């Protein structure tokens, strides 16, 4: 043991922290492990701590010792937890751990808990303190404790920072530069949240951050930690929440990363059948090891603590709860009871969600989960997995398959529109038009639409309006707001030049208008997750490919009627049932000429007749736009046409 450690027991890991780490309940491990800049009795330096239980020796190496670990060997203080205090090191010094494996090989590893890393292709960790940034989001932090996402608008803009916009020379914009141009853009378009594809350090640009080497290290591609803090701070000051994509399932095999960390399978299972993820060429995390559970849950808490993020979209949850989901191994894996469920993965998910909500009750914990596993978005004490939201990937799959059909064929597949209402309230759903739907040859939303150029845009307006009026919170991928024609190209910026073309410009104006319309319509989001917020008027009109339904808010009389026409036929004097007598106003129409439509709308208030129809006590006749959506509300003294979109 070094002389410093012999005399300074207070800089050693505490017995309690060591116990909790090995128990799988050390939830702030980032305060213990990694490179901690500390001052001990007026000696400024860095305490390094790392878990490598099977290593013969561990040293800290870097430029400060010419990458020779002889003079900076660490001490195994307890059960493979190695530590060393090195005086006079400062922020910005680079380092790695030199590990002698059980087979006497010497390997160099980046710090699993490093707060910052060298810019790729370099791979060393960087000594860094996260305590310098002065936050100004106190009001947001205070207000979000009272935020009720279930009964509020939640319209999320999913983005990849590396390809949203690029500089003329092809370089990335920094976190600060993105903050100064993206946040106002997001606000203008009516979004409430930004979801960022993973910003944890990763070696390969085209993995989009989903194959990580530095879970605690914000990627240096776009700047320093305080620059990302600035981005989040600015979002919060302007009323935008920030969600991070997070990947607790698997990690990449790069030599400096977590794989075979101490020369043995440490973060991954020892059994190659369980450690390998052939689909992505990665290693799975071993949730059977409590130290791995401590590592991952600490990481989730870290991003909320140090970066003030508001929640996570958890990647690939289906792979976490099933051993063989999309598995390509030669034989099926089984749990100890002979089943397909990943018992340790499920236990990890429940523990993760319990810990997050105990510390951050306001958090958004969103599961990307594609199976019929029940109660994903229910609390663990009610038998659920503990998330508060789940992506409705079944709805997206069905709807996009339906929308790609020729309009004359849609009548034969009408159930693809209506089936979602059988399960829409079984979970707290988010409807995601995410990057997964717009890459790898799947085409953009616009280019999925059938028909000529006009029909493609009309179909896309129809799709988007149905998306906004269907129960569930919303997410859409960047570029969709101006009808990007090509699928997402991750190595290039979005096709911003399309905004110079009339059709794309008009679609963008439609997008902005309907998003702000959605924001001020509580009946479209107050009761997203309970059946009282939705009522069919007519789900059965497959011959005309028309559906009609009611969305309701909490207050009596707060409702709207939504009519969607999925063919290019225009109907005049089209009768629909309504629940009350009086007059109705058309408050939104996707077919307005200013949006690029044909101008088929209901300009005047519509009188209701005492003629029952569609199982409603009254009815009225309306004009139905082609490939369009009309939204009607009851006329009142306080509700005037000029409050909506027609009188400019």
Question: Which positions are annotated as active-site residues?
Answer: 315, 368
Residues 115, 498: Cα–Cα separation, whole Å: 39
173 exposed, middle or buried (CB, 10 Å; 0-12, 13-18, 19+)?
buried
Centre a 10 Å sphere on the Cβ of residue 308 and count the other Cβ atoms it contains: 19
Q: Is the dihedral of CA 384, 390, 396, 397 positive or negative?
A: negative
Residues 340, 321: Cα–Cα separation, whole Å: 9
CB 537 within 8 A of CB 552: no
DSSP H or E segment with residue 276: strand 276-277
**What are the φ and ψ backbone dihedral angles of 22, each rounded to 5 degrees?**
-75, -20
Residues 329, 436: Cα–Cα separation, whole Å: 24
Q: Write down the H helix ranges in 333-452.
A: 343-359, 393-403, 415-418, 445-448
Pairing assessment for the beta strands 200-201 and 214-218 based on DSSP bridges: antiparallel
**What are the φ and ψ backbone dihedral angles of 541, each rounded to 5 degrees?**
-85, 70
Q: Which of 238, 240, 247 is nearest to 157 (CA)?
A: 240
What does the block give as tokens for 432? 């995601």
2 exposed, middle or buried (CB, 10 Å; 0-12, 13-18, 19+)?
middle
CA distances from 315 to 247, 318, 320, 365, 579 (A): 5, 9, 9, 11, 42
CB 566 within 8 A of CB 408: no
* 3-state secondary structure string across 60-112: EEEHHHCCCHHHCECEEEECCEEEEEEECCCCCCEEEEEEECCCCCEEEECCC
């Amino acid at each position: 043991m070094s002389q410093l450690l012999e005399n300074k027991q207070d800089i050693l890991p505490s017995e309690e922290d060591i116990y909790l780490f090995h128990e799988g309940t050390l939830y702030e491990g980032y305060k213990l492990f990694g490179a901690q800049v500390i001052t001990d009795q007026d000696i400024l330096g860095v305490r390094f701590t790392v878990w490598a239980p099977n290593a013969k020796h561990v040293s800290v190496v870097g430029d400060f010792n010419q990458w020779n670990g002889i003079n900076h060997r660490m001490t195994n203080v307890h059960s493979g937890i190695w530590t060393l205090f090195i005086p006079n090191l400062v922020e910005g010094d680079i380092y790695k751990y030199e590990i002698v494996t059980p087979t006497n090989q010497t390997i160099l590893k980046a710090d699993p808990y490093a707060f910052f890393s060298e810019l790729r292709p370099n791979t060393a960790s960087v000594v860094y303190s996260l305590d310098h940034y002065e936050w100004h989001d106190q009001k947001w932090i205070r207000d979000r404790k009272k935020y009720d996402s279930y009964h509020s608008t939640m319209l999320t803009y999913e983005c990849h920072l590396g390809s949203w916009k690029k500089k003329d020379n092809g370089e990335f914009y920094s976190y600060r530069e993105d903050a100064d141009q993206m946040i106002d853009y997001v606000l203008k378009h009516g979004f409430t949240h930004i979801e960022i594809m993973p910003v944890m350090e990763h070696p390969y640009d085209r993995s989009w951050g989903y194959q990580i080497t530095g879970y605690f290290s914000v990627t240096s591609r776009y700047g320093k930690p305080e620059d990302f803090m600035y981005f989040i701070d600015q979002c919060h000051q302007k009323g935008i929440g920030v969600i991070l994509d997070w990947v607790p399932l698997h990690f990449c095999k790069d030599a400096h990363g977590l794989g075979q960390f101490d020369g043995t399978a440490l973060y991954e299972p020892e059994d190659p059948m369980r450690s390998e993820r052939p689909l992505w060429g990665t290693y799975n995390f071993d949730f059977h090891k409590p130290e791995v559970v401590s590592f991952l849950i600490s990481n989730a808490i870290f991003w909320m603590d140090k970066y003030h993020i508001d929640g996570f979209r958890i990647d690939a949850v289906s792979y976490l709860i099933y051993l063989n989901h999309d598995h390509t191994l030669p034989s099926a894996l089984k749990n100890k009871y002979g089943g397909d469920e990943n018992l340790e993965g499920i236990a990890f998910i429940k523990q993760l969600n319990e810990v997050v909500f105990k510390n951050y009750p306001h958090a958004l914990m969103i599961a990307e989960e594609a199976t019929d596993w029940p109660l994903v978005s229910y609390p663990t004490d009610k038998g659920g997995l503990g998330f508060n939201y789940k992506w409705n990937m079944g709805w997206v799959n069905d709807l996009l398959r339906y929308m790609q059909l020729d309009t004359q064929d849609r009548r034969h597949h009408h159930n693809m529109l209506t089936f979602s209402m059988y399960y829409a309230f079984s979970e707290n759903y988010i409807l995601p038009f995410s990057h997964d739907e717009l890459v790898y040859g799947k085409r953009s939303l616009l280019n999925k639409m059938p028909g000529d150029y006009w029909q493609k845009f009309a179909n896309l307006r129809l799709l988007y309006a149905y998306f906004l009026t269907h129960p569930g919170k919303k997410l859409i991928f960047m570029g969709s707001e101006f009808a990007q024609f090509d699928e997402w190209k991750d190595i290039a910026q979005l096709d911003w030049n399309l905004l110079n073309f009339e059709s794309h410009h008009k679609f963008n104006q439609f997008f902005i208008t309907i998003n702000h319309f959605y924001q001020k319509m509580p009946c479209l989001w107050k009761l997203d997750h309970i059946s009282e917020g939705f009522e069919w008027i007519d789900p059965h009109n497959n011959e005309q490919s028309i559906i009609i339904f009611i969305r309701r808010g909490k207050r009596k009389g707060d409702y709207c009627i939504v009519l969607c026409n999925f063919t290019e036929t225009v109907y005049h004097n089209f009768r629909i049932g309504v629940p009350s007598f009086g007059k109705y106003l058309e408050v939104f129409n996707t077919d307005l000429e200013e949006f690029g439509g044909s101008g088929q709308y209901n300009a005047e208030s519509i009188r209701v007749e005492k003629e029952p129809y569609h199982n409603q006590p009254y009815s009225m006749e309306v004009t139905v736009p082609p490939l369009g959506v009309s939204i009607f509300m009851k006329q009142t003294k306080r509700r005037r046409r000029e409050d909506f979109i027609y009188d400019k």
